[in-house]
Amino acid sequence: MKKSKIYFIGAGPGDPELITVKGKSIIERADLIIFAGSLVNPDVLRGRKKKSVLHNSAEMDLEEITAAMIQAHKEGKVVARVHTGDPAIYGAINEQMEILDREGVEYEVVPGVSSFLAAAAALQRELTVPGVCQTVVLTRRGGRTKTPARESLPSLAGHQATMVLFLSAGMAGKVQKELLASYPPETPIAIVYKASWKDQKIFWGSLKDLAKTARKNKVDRTALIFIGKALGAHGKKSSLYDQNFAHGFMTQEKKT
């Protein structure tokens, strides 16, 4: 591992065992750790050096975060900037990297397990089922942070793909209304609260009952909403391992 480098690390969805080996190794060697305290499980940081400096980014603004990283970099220290899930998905790393670019500071992004993948594992569902759905849409409903008009939920719903909504549990009623414009009312839905955490909860239902399900179970944050026919597609089979399906590693001659 090279000294004087900043690492943006995806800490995974919550379970401390779901951080990558590389991410864990960097945290253990880091001199400065800045982590998203409102989202990252503190157990992820359990192996850090006793002398490492720890900052909670929930209590800092962008300028304070980047100033701390740049100063540590000048001092030849290893910096771990720890984000929840995977930094590429609603990670807010773009503005940090732009400042580091202007300052000529070297950095690296270390991917992590996104919460939507941990939630799919908890649901024990495949999001892409042959003949049912081959596309997954990751999005959010616009709130204080607006989304482009072409990416509105009614627009995206027209594809009837498997949809995973981040940062939208508190708007379940509006989500339900907008998705019903294209998805059938009986389309399966699942709300996953704190995927992979010890207090994880899963609530199943149909799109027509999405708002009621969220309200009944008092889920308005730290949750993902899944919508799509793939959630109820048990019994559908992929052709990949079918004895009559030839592919690059299994020729038709061998199949027969």
Q: What does the pLDDT read at residue 148? A: 85
What integer pLDDT is reported at residue 254 of this predicted model?
A: 55
Is residue 2 scored above 70 in pLDDT? no
Indicate whether 253 pLDDT > 70: no
What pLDDT is recorded for position 1? 45
**Residues 173-216 pLDDT 10s:** 999 999 999 999 999 999 999 999 999 999 999 999 999 999 99
Determine the average pLDDT of the residues in 14-36.
97
Q: Which fold has domain 5-110?
A: Cobalt-precorrin-4 Transmethylase; domain 1 (3.40.1010)
DSSP 236: -
More confident residue, 131 or 4: 131
Give the separation between CA 213 and CA 220, rounded to whole angstroms: 11
Write out the two tokens for 204: 């199943």
Contact between residue 155 and residue 179 where contact means Cβ atoms under 8 Å apart: no
Say whether 205 sits in a helix, a strand or coil. Answer: strand
Q: What is the mean pLDDT of the chain?
A: 91
Domain boundaries, the chain: 5-110, 115-232
Could you confirm whether domain 115-232 is CATH 3.30.950.10? yes
Q: Tens digits of per-residue pLDDT, 106-149?
A: 999 999 999 999 999 999 999 999 999 999 999 999 777 778 88
